[in-house]
Structure 1
Amino acid sequence: MTRHLYSCPLRWSDMDAFGHVNNVVFLRYLEEARIDFMFRLAPGDGSPSFSGGSVVARHEIDYVRPLVHRHEPVVIESWVTSIRAASLTIAYEVKDHEGADEVYVRASTVVVPFDLEAQRPRRITAEEREFLQRYVPPAADGAEGADAQEAVAA
């Protein structure tokens, strides 16, 4: 399975009074990784995919272990677990580096493509679906992969 990798720097201001990265800051980290995935890596040269707008419908975050400030960035691995007609779900793991066993956060975000002019959700285009499917785990990866494959077909 292909995962999108984003190197996310830690900022001194990310820490809270307890000396670790504040729980709310992780939402910003996930946003940075999601934007890098959806907009800079959008399919096609000059493609308008995803650039028309999107909104977050849901976040789910499991804080696995505290992350203290350091000079090295964390790596955020992202992949797609569900593609529906007008939404997709992106899963994340925040780690020390690609393939690391130390996971700080596991999360997911439901994203809805949004038509900014019409001010309403829109359907995922064929081009977007083709791009996203590269990041869906194969069914052989277990239940999550099977659910994602089923959702892709929906």
Structure 2
Amino acid sequence: MRHIYPCPMRWSDMDAYGHVNNAVFVRYLEEARINFLFRPDKEFQQGSVVARHEIDYKRQLVHRHHPVDIELWVAEIRAASFTIAYEVKDEDAVYVRASTVVVPFDFEAQRPRRITPQEREFLQQYLEPAGAEEGEAVAA
């Protein structure tokens, strides 16, 4: 199953050529990740930090006044980290494919922590290992 986040685009996202600046995509991924993980109806509430981003820019995204969709899913779950995969896309075009390694973090103790059983259960609903067929998407 995939989560879909309709990401709003802002005039300030453009570079001098009228395209969405490559650095802005990191913020788009962050917005989608927060929308996915930190909602009151979900089990992932204790906090996390990003350990790594990988971004493949596929084509330029021109600024417009309607959102761009970000589909995301879980590509891997480990004991103390998980990987989120993304596609920033429209129905007929993929602009970015990316992944983020996320580490659950205990902010009081100031250290990484293991994924709780409840968090693992939540993440497994969206698990789509690399090479799997396109999953069912669910809107935010």
Change (3 A) 1:89 1:135: same
* Equivalent-residue separation in structure 2 for 1:105 and 1:58 (angstroms): 16
What stretches of structure 1 of length at least 5 have no aligned partner?
Answer: 44-48, 146-154
* Equivalent-residue separation in structure 1 for 2:92 and 2:68 (angstroms): 13
8 Å Cα contact 2:44/2:122 also seen in 1: no
Q: Name which of 49, 53, 62 aligns with 1:59.
A: 53
- What is the Cα deviation at residue 53 of structure 1? 1.6
User: Relative contact order: is structure 1 or structure 2 higher (C-alpha 8 Å, sep ≥ 6)?
Assistant: 2
What stretches of structure 2 of length at least 5 have no aligned partner?
Answer: 133-140
Q: Which contiguous aligned blocks of 4+ residues in structure 1 show a shift greater than 6 angstroms?
A: none
Q: CA RMSD in A?
A: 1.4
* Equivalent-residue separation in structure 2 for 1:64 and 1:41 (angstroms): 34
* Equivalent-residue separation in structure 1 for 2:102 and 2:40 (angstroms): 16
1:11-90 matches, within 5 Å, as 11-40=10-39, 43=42, 49-90=43-84
Which structure shows the bigger proportion of residues in helix conformation? Answer: 1
* Equivalent-residue separation in structure 1 for 2:13 and 2:75 (angstroms): 28
TM-score, with normalisation over the residues of structure 2?
A: 0.89
TM-score, with normalisation over the residues of structure 1?
A: 0.81
How many residue pairs get matched?
A: 132
